Amino acid sequence: MFESSCSFISSIRLGRAVVAFALGVFFVVESGFASEPSAVLRIGYQSSPPYQVIGEDGSVGGIAIDLVRTAAERLEIELEWVYCPKSPDHHFAAGDVDLWPIVTDLPDRRRRFHITKPIYENSLGILSREENPIGSPQETAGKRVAYYDREPSLTLVPQLMPSAIPVPMPGHVDAIESVLRGESDAAFLWSTKANSMTFKMALDQHPEVPIHFYAFPDEKLSCGVGADKNDPAAVEAADLIREEIGELVREGYVQTVYFRYYLDPENEISSFFWLDDLRRKANSLAVAIGGLLGLVALLGVMSFYFQRSRKKALAATKAKSEFLANMSHEFRTPLNGIMGMTQLAMVNPANEEQKELLDVVLKSGDALLTIVNDILDLSKMESGRLSIELEPLDLEDLLVSATSFFKIVSAQKSVAFESHISERCPRTIKSDVARLRQILFNLVGNAVKFTSSGCVRVSVDTIRLAKGEFLVFDIRDTGIGIPENLHGEIFEAFNQVDTSNTRNYGGTGVGLTICRNLVNLLGGEIHVESVVDRGSVFSVFIPLLRVELGMPAQQDLEAPAVPQVIPRELSILVVDDNSLNLQTMEAVLKRMNHKVTCVNDGKTAIDKVDSQPFDLIFMDLHMSGFDGWETTRAIRQRQAAAGAETPIVALTASVYSKELKLQVAREMDGLVFKPFEISALHNEIERLTADRN
Ligand code: ADP
């Protein structure tokens, strides 16, 4: 409202300026722009103390007049004060005035003239004598009610007290006196703090009459500046004056005016504007709170959808991991057949050429197994299911087990191979031996793979950084190198420097991704420095966890010294629902000179154990119907009753996991992963049957 008023006034001013400018240019007025006299607005006044007071010398003042006059002056609105003894309704209708300083806001009036937003509010009440008190408007029924004979009484008395006998009076004081004198039963009063002085003076005239006062709890009368509704300039001026009075409140001027008349700065106009400000702030606050609530609701909805998508994503990742685990299982089963049979055939090859061919088959199977394991590791990392196991380990053993194979390979390529552990390194440290070996195996494997001449060197040292003490493994080669712009990318899954790598060197591009994730899992970091055609250095930093003296280091399980033939015949039961696996196991075990019984389901296995004794049982865990666990438990139960116990070795094509290892340790006697190495199988048989003959 304020803004639109301003724009209206300013557009008028702009319009005038444009006209003046046009005239100036047209007539070439020497003295500059001819300023158009601004329209003077006529404003009514009457004697209505304390708001409008006419002094004995004819001067016009009072709270309302002082404030409106000051506001208009500040707004540069020119006013002409016109004496109007009758009601504003009358004078607006007669066209005597354009503005009225203060009018009570009544619905009927709004149809006839414009009333601004309130400047203050009047309270309403009923005054009566204490001997005959009136405590509600209903109690005025049939009673004489005196009132000031003008608006708003004319509208409100019949409305609020329809059954009262109306007694019009020329002023409020007359109405009060009529009650005090006993001529009326009650007086209807509308007042502000400013009226209180006059009322008090009237009451003090009759100290002998105790009074009773009823205040209407919910009725308030708003009062604003009045304006001729058909004159836009008057309407706009009234609204601007009202806003300016608000400013005068904020600046303390209104309080000064009140003090001038009452020696008290407290007043209804200030209270109203402060309250109005508070209401506006409360509204803004309510809007802000509404907005915030909306935002919270939006966040709630977003979080709901986020949770839903997260669940979907997790479910998809889980499904992918399960799919990969199943795929890996499916790959391992035929690989078990290929590798087992090949190993068997290699024991007695027909000639040297056949041996070489079988060697290729075995190596290919091994390469395939590595790929399957890598892909599975990657999916486990993605779903955060890869855990690490910190155990004491022998650093030298670790280095030997991770490099011995590649020493042979590099010798075949005439590439020198060196490894060195600094004297600063403790012999035993704490880490995850399997994961650390996997990291080194990958990096050393790459170094040898991408180097055709020169040297590959693996060194281990310690370093103290701000974060603590670290072990540093440097894997250095003089191979093809990696362009600098790809140093970051090669750690991303399936990224290779050159796609021709796959053709020339083999590989899937996941090795470094797995390395980086494993290193991070171990709390470390991996970095690369490399120059094309000069070589590369991969550095792995692992927090150095020292081991207290006396703690045994983890033995390297991968280099068992096994006798090739057990010099006694054992009766062995093999349980597997895959005929290829059964065939492989049978062939391998028979070659070891054992008596082998094969069954392809759990139930038959239980019957077999019931009907004949065995020295050892190999039990596939993953069987349809009665699986390996259930079959083992049933066998154990029956044997416990009979006082016997045949060692049972779990056979599984699943990948290594800590949980599996622990469960096998609880329920069975040994564990062989498929595809198996004959030596590992042999080792388990020897370990579990050493005391039998
Ligand atoms: P892969 O070796 O199976 O392709 P990696 O993730 O182990 O996968 O390596 C990604 C790529 O990084 C390799 O294909 C190769 O381009 C590059 N790379 C890794 N190590 C070396 C190295 N020592 N020398 C040169 N290039 C390397």
* Residues 398-420: tens digit of each pLDDT: 998 888 888 888 998 999 999 99
Would the pLDDT of 616 be above 80? Answer: yes
Q: Please report which confidence band the pLDDT of residue 229 belongs to, taking 50, 70 and 90 as the band edges.
A: very high
Q: Report whether 124 contacts 161 (CB < 8 A).
A: no
| C-alpha 366 to ligand 1 mean position (Å) | 19
Whether residue 189 contacts residue 176, with contact meaning beta carbons closer than 8 Å, is answered with: yes
Of the listed ranges 21-30, 301-310, 481-490, the one predicted with least confidence: 21-30
Q: Which residue has the higher pLDDT, 586 or 559?
A: 586
Which of 456, 495, 512 maximizes ligand 1 atoms within 8 Å of its Cβ, making it the mutation to test the pocket?
Answer: 512
Query: What percent of the chain shows pLDDT beyond 70?
Result: 88
Determine the pLDDT at residue 526.
95
Please give the share of the chain, as a percent, with pLDDT higher than 90.
51
Most confident region among 103-112, 306-315, 373-382, 453-462 by mean pLDDT:
453-462
Grade residue 494 by pLDDT with cuts at 50, 70 and 90. low
Residue with more model confidence, 428 or 339: 428
Check whether 15 has a pLDDT greater than 70.
no
Residue 651 contacts by C-beta under 8 Å, 6 or more apart in sequence? Answer: 576, 581, 585, 618, 619, 620, 621, 628, 672, 674, 676
pLDDT at 579 over 90: no
Amino acid 160 reads: L
Question: Is pLDDT of 550 > 70?
Answer: no
Task: Using pLDDT thresholds of 50, 70 and 90, give the confidence band for residue 641.
Answer: confident
Q: What's the pLDDT at 115?
A: 97
In this structure, the residue with its CA closest to atom 14 of ligand 1 is 496
The pairing of beta strand 41-45 with beta strand 79-83:
parallel
- Specify the 3-state DSSP secondary structure of 543: strand
| Cα angle 443, 448, 451; round to 5 | 120
Answer for the pair 45, 60: CB distance below 8 angstroms, yes or no: yes
Tell me which residue has its CA closest to atom 9 in ligand 1.
Answer: 509
Mean of pLDDT values over 22-40: 43
Region of poorest pLDDT, from 32-46, 84-98, 518-532: 32-46
- Cβ < 6 A, ligand 1 pocket: 442, 446-447, 450, 477, 479-482, 490, 496-497, 501, 507-513, 536
State the pLDDT at residue 549: 59
pLDDT of residue 565 exceeding 50: no
Which atom in ligand 1 lies closest to the alpha carbon of residue 491?
Answer: 6
Residue bearing the bigger pLDDT, 96 or 675:
96
Is the pLDDT assigned to residue 225 strictly greater than 90? yes
389 Cα to the center of ligand 1, angstroms: 27
| Band (426; pLDDT cuts 50, 70, 90) | very high
Model confidence band, residue 490 (pLDDT cutoffs 50, 70, 90): confident
Q: Which of 157-166, 499-508, 527-536 has the lowest mean pLDDT?
A: 499-508
Probe residue for ligand 1, chosen from 496, 529, 538 as the CB with the greatest number of ligand atoms within 8 Å: 496
Strand spans (E) along 228-378? none
Lowest mean pLDDT among 171-180, 185-194, 479-488: 185-194
Q: Please, which pLDDT band fits residue 621 given cuts at 50, 70 and 90?
A: very high
Segment 295-304, tens digit of pLDDT:
999 999 999 9
The pLDDT of residue 603 is: 94
Q: pLDDT category, 562, cuts 50, 70, 90?
A: very low
Dihedral sign (CA 576, 581, 587, 590)? negative
Q: What is the mean pLDDT of residues 33-48?
A: 73
Q: How far is the CA of 496 from the centre of ligand 1 (A)?
A: 6
Structure confidence by residue, pLDDT tens digits, 106-134: 888 999 999 999 999 988 999 999 999 99
The alpha carbon of 448 and the centre of ligand 1 are apart by a number of angstroms equal to 11
Higher pLDDT among residues 557 and 640, named by residue: 640
Ligand 1 atom index nearest CA of 508: 3
pLDDT of 561 reads: 38
With beta carbons less than 8 A apart as the criterion, state whether 670 and 647 touch: yes
Q: Measured between alpha carbons, how far is residue 79 from residues 43, 64, 98, 237, 580 in Å?
A: 6, 14, 10, 10, 112
Q: Could you read off the pLDDT of 56-68 as tens digits, one per residue?
A: 888 889 899 999 9
Q: Which residues of 478-627 form beta strands (DSSP E)?
A: 525-531, 535-543, 571-575, 595-599, 616-620
* Confidence band for 81, pLDDT divided at 50, 70 and 90: very high
Q: For residue 451, which atom of ligand 1 is closest to its CA?
A: 24
Q: What is the Å distance from ligand 1's center to 422 Cα?
A: 27
pLDDT at 21 over 50: no
- Kindly state the average pLDDT of the residues 551-557: 47
The tokens for 551 are 């703690």
For the ranges 252-261, 379-388, 511-520, 595-604, which has the lowest average pLDDT? 379-388
Mean pLDDT over all residues of the chain?
Answer: 84
Please report the pLDDT score of residue 410 as a whole number. 92
Q: Which helix (H) or strand (E) covers residue 670, if one does?
A: strand 670-673
Mean pLDDT, residues 323-349: 78
